[in-house]
A = this chain, B = another copy of it.
Amino acid sequence: MIIFDNAADMRAWCREQHRAGKTIGFVPTMGALHEGHLSLMRAAAGGNDLAVASIFVNPTQFAPHEDFNKYPRTFDQDVAMCASAGVVAVYAPTARTMYAEDYSTFVTVGGVSEGLCGGSRPHFFRGVAAVVTKLFNAVEADHAYFGQKDAQQCAVIKRMVRDLDMAVQIVEMPIVREADGLAMSSRNRYLNAEERARALCLSRSLFAALDLMERGERDAETVKSAVREGMREVKIDYVELVDAETMRPVERVERPVLLAVAALLESARLIDNIKFNPAGHGGSQQ
């Protein structure tokens, strides 16, 4: 495995590969890798000549009270997992390299970054958008892979790439779940056994709501109420039904939608979501 710790060397390597006619697939991560990340890396390795991953726990997307300090750091194991998934180079800069003392540039993506996690974590997306811009400028990739688990992040990054004419193409990959339905997340490690059991209510409620919509329910409030009812065991941060592209709340399910939830357990904040496209699904009368 080749490991780069600064943007200039990482970029020089990418340019050398491009000159040799190779395409590059890129998977940005914060490490603490799980099967969800590996699915992105396998897609990157399969869809391009070379796959590159980054491992960087980005301080600017955490608020002071959040879990930056305790976020799991498992670098050696992560690198081994990257290799097992077909990644040939890892970009692992330090926070000091990434952020000069007088660092002062942010990228703000309006619209899609509002509501949902942007409501609960107001500085989150400007930190994400800036760091992803930096990563894209270091790893000059043809395709970059993101998981639908962070659906709003995907929407923000797609919008940013379009708005700023970035060269990379964004590929959004499905959520990878544990056998019992829990969406994989690095933060699942925080959960004790009792919380782990209660956390199942997120995916269970989402799938029940999906079933409702598939059987014809189109009223957003009815769908959200069913989800909230199913999540009584946890403290709800939000339950939202939004347009899958603009991330704006909808009253009726008439276009592709995202049903997204966030919950606060004692040890972790968890998010999950499903997408639903009413085209092809009949109404309840049929």
* A residues in contact (CB < 8 Å) with B: 7, 11, 19, 100, 102-112, 129-130, 133-134, 137-138, 140, 159-160, 162-167, 246
Contact = CB atoms under 8 A, between A and B. Distances in A.
A163 B7 contact: no
Contact of A166 (B112, B137, B159, B162): B137
27 contacts: A7-B165, A11-B167, A102-B111, A102-B246, A103-B163, A104-B109, A104-B111, A104-B112, A105-B108, A105-B110, A105-B129, A105-B159, A105-B163, A105-B164, A106-B107, A107-B108, A107-B164, A108-B108, A130-B163, A130-B164, A133-B164, A134-B163, A137-B164, A137-B165, A137-B166, A138-B165, A140-B167
Contacts of A109: 104-105
A160 B108 contact: no
Nearest to A135: B165
Contact of A137 (B7, B129, B134, B167): B167
Nearest to A102: B111
A134 B107 CA distance: 13
A107 B130 CA distance: 9
Contacts of A112: 104
Most chain B CB within a 10 A radius of its CB, from A100, A110, A112, A164: A164
Most chain B CB within a 10 A radius of its CB, from A104, A108, A159: A104
A99 to B, nearest CB: 8
Given A11-B167, A104-B163, A106-B110, 8 more contacts: A100-B163, A102-B246, A104-B159, A105-B108, A106-B107, A106-B108, A137-B165, A137-B166
A11 B19 CA distance: 15
Contacts of A138: 165
Nearest to A160: B105
> What 6 A-B pairs come out closest when comparing CB atoms?
A104-B110, A105-B163, A7-B165, A137-B165, A104-B111, A134-B165
A253 B271 CA distance: 54
Contacts of A107: 105-108, 164
A188 B178 CA distance: 67
